[in-house]
Amino acid sequence: MSTSNIINPALFFADDNLIGDKVEKSVRRMKDLKGIFQDEAAFLQIQEEKLVYEVSSFLPVKEGTPGGLYFGITYLYPGKVGDEYFMTKGHFHANIDRAEFYWGLKGEGMLIFMDEQRKVWAERMFPGSLHYIPGGIAHRVANTGNQMLSFGACWPSDAGHNYEEIAQNGFACRLVDRNGVPNLI
């Protein structure tokens, strides 16, 4: 057996950074999150170019391919719009029965779930926390700390994203800061 068929991985982690030639990066700025936060006056006070979150992802197969997997790391900045924590847009999967794993890498936050009957609950995220998001459940993440929250995700390549439902109807509860404590109201 020669060593010529032993190669280095194409992807690796350095701390919570995903490194590799095929890593794609995307950003969401304040202006991409219009209508997500309750306090519109507070929203308008914030620079529309302000970064809210960035995503590094590895998408090895074409979107929609059955049986493949995608991998991503999200970096969600700390901050609030009024008393509501910075958060991701949130989505159901377009193929609604597809599940996903999230796991906490750095910082602290909350993974907010909502089922199709609009029942909402949340799990604390912290370095090492692992979260199974079943099919049929909308999900979004809020940064409840003072530093960057980073978390990993792994989801099926045929899950897709249905952002529309959440953009139109929101979640049934909001995660707000009440005297320094996150409250789901």
The binding site for Fe ion (CB under 5 A) comprises 100
Q: How far is the CB of 139 from Fe ion (least distance, A)?
A: 6
Q: Are 145 and 107 in contact (CB under 8 A)?
A: yes
- What CA–CA distance (Å, rounded) separates 3 from 137? 46
The amino acid present at 107, given as its one-letter code, is G
Nearer to Fe ion, 83 or 129 (CB): 129
Nearer to Fe ion, 125 or 176 (CB): 125
The residue whose Cβ lies closest to Fe ion is 100
DSSP per-residue letters across 40-103? HHHHHHS-TT-EEEEEEEE--S-TT-TT-EEEEEEEE---EETTEEPB---BB-SSTT--EEEE
Nearer to Fe ion, 30 or 153 (CB): 153
